[in-house]
């Protein structure tokens, strides 16, 4: 996927090679650990090894954002009802310089495409409450009460695919 302005062109792809995966983890460290003060020991978890990671990369090679999809038993452990047909979108991070370019929405759509390709029927996520509007615009609906995660208020959300 590319932005309309060629100077801001980027592609979103599955992070399959080691360099892409390292870029994903580096962006998460910048956004969650450095900016939001999430403890590093809880930012990275056992799910990372088997999760599908997506990365947005500008034409010059600069990584702009990342997200991950949990599926199967890993997703069932995290979603609202334990359903293995519901994926879990998480760790969505966009670098400060790329915010407002549509990167976050492109990453969400890439995760949804990967979920559909795996036969999943819906995607759940835990949204920071300040980001509820962003996810609502992408078709997600909040459910359940607000809860803290890493000291940050969140709500569960779901989108049926």
pTM of the prediction? Answer: 0.91
pLDDT bin (cut points 50, 70, 90) of residue 2 is very low
Instruction: Give the 3-state secondary structure of the chain.
Output: CCCCCHHHCEEEEECCCHHHHHHHHHHHHHHHHHHCCCCHHHHCCHHHHCCEEEEEEECCCCEEEEEEEECCHHHHHHCCCCCCCEEEEEEEEECHHHCCCCHHHHHHHHHHHHHHHCCCCEEEEEEEHHHHHHHHHCCCEEEEEEEEECCEEEEEEEEEC
pLDDT surpasses 80 at 3: no
- What value does the mean pLDDT take over residues 7-34? 92
Predicted local distance difference test score (pLDDT) of residue 75: 87
Indicate the average pLDDT of the chain.
92
Predicted local distance difference test score (pLDDT) of residue 5: 52
pLDDT tens digit string along 45-85?
999 999 999 999 998 999 999 999 999 888 888 877 888 89
Predicted local distance difference test score (pLDDT) of residue 7: 52
pLDDT tens digit string along 83-93?
889 999 999 99
Predicted local distance difference test score (pLDDT) of residue 48: 94
């Amino acid at each position: 996927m590319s932005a309309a302005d060629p100077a801001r062109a980027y592609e979103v792809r599955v992070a399959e090679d080691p360099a892409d995966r390292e870029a994903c983890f580096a962006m998460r460290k910048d956004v969650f650990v450095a900016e939001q003060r999430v403890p590093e020991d809880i930012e990275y978890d056992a799910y990372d090894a088997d999760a599908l990671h997506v990365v947005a990369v500008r034409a010059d090679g600069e990584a702009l954002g990342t997200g991950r999809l949990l599926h199967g038993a890993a997703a069932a452990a995290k979603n609202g009802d334990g359903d293995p047909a519901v994926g879990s979108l998480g760790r969505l991070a966009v670098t400060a310089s790329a915010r407002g370019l549509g990167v976050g929405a492109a990453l969400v759509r890439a995760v949804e495409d990967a979920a559909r390709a795996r036969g999943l029927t819906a995607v759940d996520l835990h949204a920071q409450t300040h980001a509820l509007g962003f996810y609502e615009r992408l078709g997600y609906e909040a459910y359940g009460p607000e809860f803290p995660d890493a000291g940050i208020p969140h709500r569960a959300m779901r989108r049926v695919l």
